Amino acid sequence: MIKIGIIGGSGLDNPDILKDPRLISVDTPFGKPSSALKVGQIAGVEVALLARHGVGHTIPPSNVNFRANVAALSSHGCTHVLATTAVGSLRQEIQPGHLVFPSQFIDWTKKRASTFFDGDRVVHTPMAQPFCPNLRALFASTATDLGLPFHKDKTVITIEGPRFSTRAESHMFRQWGADVINMSTVPESPLAREKKLHYAAVAMSTDYDCWHEEEEAVTWEMIQQTMHANADRVIRLFLALIPKIAATTDECNS
């Protein structure tokens, strides 16, 4: 049975989109997740919402218990995970307010627990396609139907945070081929792969990071303002997308 987990990032930590919502407190072998699961239905499909940074955004990126979050959704029976995230744009054409559906990531984090298999069992997880290709295709087709501005097949680089990049780092990331930058995709994506979940991210461009010297330097206030202004786009996308997921036979290897 299809059951969908939504990981709400900055600006989307507690959207009011579920029918008959209720809260479920979950514990995992890796500790408690960032929030209780808010469960209910969208178009008859079972959905569980989890606030990555806690309800009210109280947990900084480096302190998020990513393993507990992914384990909580997996133990609840989720088969698919739709993750939202705020990103800075590293490309002129990815304007603030645009949606991005990344297909690759670069890991520039430094201290996060990034696997469930750090005990006696050695597991090497394939990561050539870190985001479910079928979900990414559904994201793009649904965004097209809704007339939402988006970019697909892009690379996101995840930094440790909580600080933003220096200008030198921002230029370096551009040279590496990264298109957007955030603080949350890793280790969330590889952990979801280890749990055999179909995972894909909807990234919302909020700013031009700091490489674009003609633009104002990024601030947290700027990110919040743009995220809240564009949260409706992501909600519209999910409301249209989730029935399509339930009606699709997902045969990818994610």
Backbone angles phi, psi at 124, to 5 degrees: -110, 110
Match 């597991």 to its residue by tokens: 123
The residue type at 53:
H
**Cα–Cα nearest to 163, from 217, 201, 203, 205:** 217
Match 């750090």 to its residue by tokens: 118
209 in catalytic set: yes
CA–CA gap between residue 244 and residue 252 (Å, rounded) = 16
The residue type at 214:
E
120 in catalytic set: no
Catalytic residue, chosen from 13, 107, 209, 232, is 209
Catalytic residue, chosen from 107, 207, 232, 250, is 207
CA–CA gap between residue 135 and residue 252 (Å, rounded) = 9
Active-site residue list? 207, 209
